Amino acid sequence: MKPFQAPNILTRRGFLHRGAVLGGSAIAAGSTIRDLRLINTAMAAQGPVSGYKALVCIFLSGGNDSNNWIVPTDTSTFADYTAIRGNLAMPESSLLALRQGPNGSDAAYTDTDGHTYGFHPACPHLQTLFGEKKLGILFNVGTLVRPTTRADYVSGLSAFRPPQLFSHSDQVTQWQTSIPDQPPTTGWGGRVADLLNSVANPSGGISMSVSMSGANTFEVGNLVTQYQVATSGAIVLSGNLMTGTGARARALRSILGVSHTNLQRKAYAGVSSNAIAVGDALNTNISATLDPTDSPATYTAQNAAAPWRWNTGLTGIYSAAAQANGLGGFPNTPLGLQLKMVARLIHAKGPGAFNMNRQVFFCSVGGYDTHTSQVLVNGTDQPTNPAGAHYRLLAEVNTCMFAFQRAMEQLGVSDDVTSFTASDFSRTLPTNSQGSDHGWGGHHIIMGGAVKGGETYGRLPVFAINGPNDTGLGRWIP
């Protein structure tokens, strides 16, 4: 496992590196991410950026039990895991071994502490991406006010504990703001957009921050407002010329077009008119991307007419049939539909569309608060049964993230788009007999062509109750 090294000089690359580390640890860092004025000045001096880059946050709402997602398989650590997990423990034979390459015959991956690992059986595609070195694993990250030891925690001093630790709403906010010891005002994704937008997207047609999952704290900024998009596209005025709704839409557009002397009315009309225009334009560009209903002939015609959109000869990236040849069709699930729309927005961002060079996307999916029935199927504990609650959740993450990565590869932007998971917290290693309770530090994945994948980062906690990483209840101190 590779420890993070903070840069000494705060270059643009250094800022983003520290922002990623602090976003995982959620340590307050005023000199880096609270005050952007000096950094903005430095950014402006470097001139406009080129190329395209995007960051995609996938938030697993409720607190994902990452102790069963990525499991140590070396003999002694796995024995500790099974002894404490009880009825929730995954059988070793069911785990998908992390390997140093994409083939089952490749040597097992071993970290510098001598640990080997396996993914949950619901995640064969994530195992593949790890072997392809397009996915990395980050161990034991969570909200922190400052670096904290077990001795610090058991001292009871509030200075060492994030406010309202183990609370869903508070820990979600702290994860997404990265400033746990202050009232929430902006999210760290929003601050990234504040930092980059004016330089990276000087003629951008939409917000740099786009949400597939409604309003969120992660993308709240001081300068850039998040733009919310449904899985079907931008939400706009509807109705045609022959309907009542069409007449009302025309009337509203006419009212907004009236010249106003009152400054508030003028501002409101301007904002509303712009929102309508952006939504219409966005949907026009989205409609130019292929959907599963498009025929091969339509695909060929679009590819010939706009070569920048497609790589010649490849199956349409949104087609469910693509799963058969490993190209990763998008499942018809909440997360699948959200990531499919992110792919279409990235597809639609190019020349002649919105001229976006930098974007931040947010997706989220719920169901991870598994206090009960985590592995229960038909009245018995069955951790490896695909019908189990946690199994189904991880299977969705597996197929949807794989589909998204393959889509980015087909669009030729795999090196430019990085995705990562986040969650309220992980869960207790000991079972509560039916599931697991609220934890603290957890494990996450980072995916993309630019990721130094096939590696684990950070350190696996010591699996011991009252051990050096434990609060006392099998909750890992990040």
* Rounded Cα–Cα distance for residues 423 and 55 (Å): 16
pTM of the model: 0.85
Phi-psi region of 65 (alpha: psi -120 to 50; beta: other; left: phi over 0): beta
Please name the fold of domain 12-202+209-234+358-457: Alkaline Phosphatase, subunit A (3.40.720)
Q: What's the angle, vertex CA 180, arms to CA 179 and CA 186, rounded to 5?
A: 40
User: What one-letter code names the amino acid at 229?
Assistant: V
Q: Domain limits of the chain? A: 12-202+209-234+358-457
User: 365 near 338, Cβ under 8 Å?
Assistant: yes
CA separation, residue 255 to residues 188, 223, 250, 273, 411 (Å): 38, 28, 9, 10, 41
Pick from 366, 368, 367, 376: nearest CA to 433:
376
Q: What is the separation of C-alpha 437 from the centre of its chain, rounded to a whole number of angstroms? A: 23
pLDDT for residue 394:
98
Phi-psi region of 51 (alpha: psi -120 to 50; beta: other; left: phi over 0): left
User: 292 near 320, Cβ under 8 Å?
Assistant: yes
pLDDT for residue 412:
86
Contacts of 143 (CB under 8 A, 6+ apart): 25, 26, 162, 165, 171, 174, 175, 180, 425, 440, 478
The two structure tokens encoding residue 7: 């840069």
The two structure tokens encoding residue 257: 């077009």
Q: What's the angle, vertex CA 227, arms to CA 224 and CA 228, rounded to 5?
A: 150
User: What one-letter code names the amino acid at 128?
Assistant: T
* Rounded Cα–Cα distance for residues 77 and 71 (Å): 9
b/e burial code for range 133-148 (CB count within 10 A of at least 16 → b): bbbbbbbbbbbbbeeb
pLDDT in tens, the chain (478 residues): 454 333 333 344 444 444 444 444 444 444 344 445 555 555 555 666 778 999 999 999 999 999 999 999 999 999 999 999 999 999 999 999 999 998 888 999 999 999 999 999 999 999 999 999 999 999 999 999 999 999 999 998 888 899 999 999 999 999 999 988 888 899 999 999 999 998 888 888 889 999 999 999 999 999 999 999 999 888 877 655 555 567 777 788 888 888 888 899 889 888 888 888 888 888 888 877 755 434 444 444 444 443 323 333 334 555 544 444 444 468 889 999 999 899 989 988 754 457 889 999 999 999 999 999 999 999 999 999 999 999 999 999 999 999 899 888 888 899 999 999 999 999 999 999 999 999 999 999 999 999 999 999 999 999 999 999 999 999 999 9
pLDDT for residue 304:
42
* Rounded Cα–Cα distance for residues 212 and 472 (Å): 38
Q: What's the angle, vertex CA 57, arms to CA 356 and CA 357, rounded to 5?
A: 10
Pick from 221, 201, 163, 181: nearest CA to 362:
221
pLDDT for residue 11:
47
User: What one-letter code names the amino acid at 41?
Assistant: T
Q: In this structure, are strands 358-365 and 376-377 parallel, antiparallel, or unpaired?
A: unpaired
User: 366 near 396, Cβ under 8 Å?
Assistant: no
Q: What are phi and psi of 57, to 5 degrees?
A: -95, 130
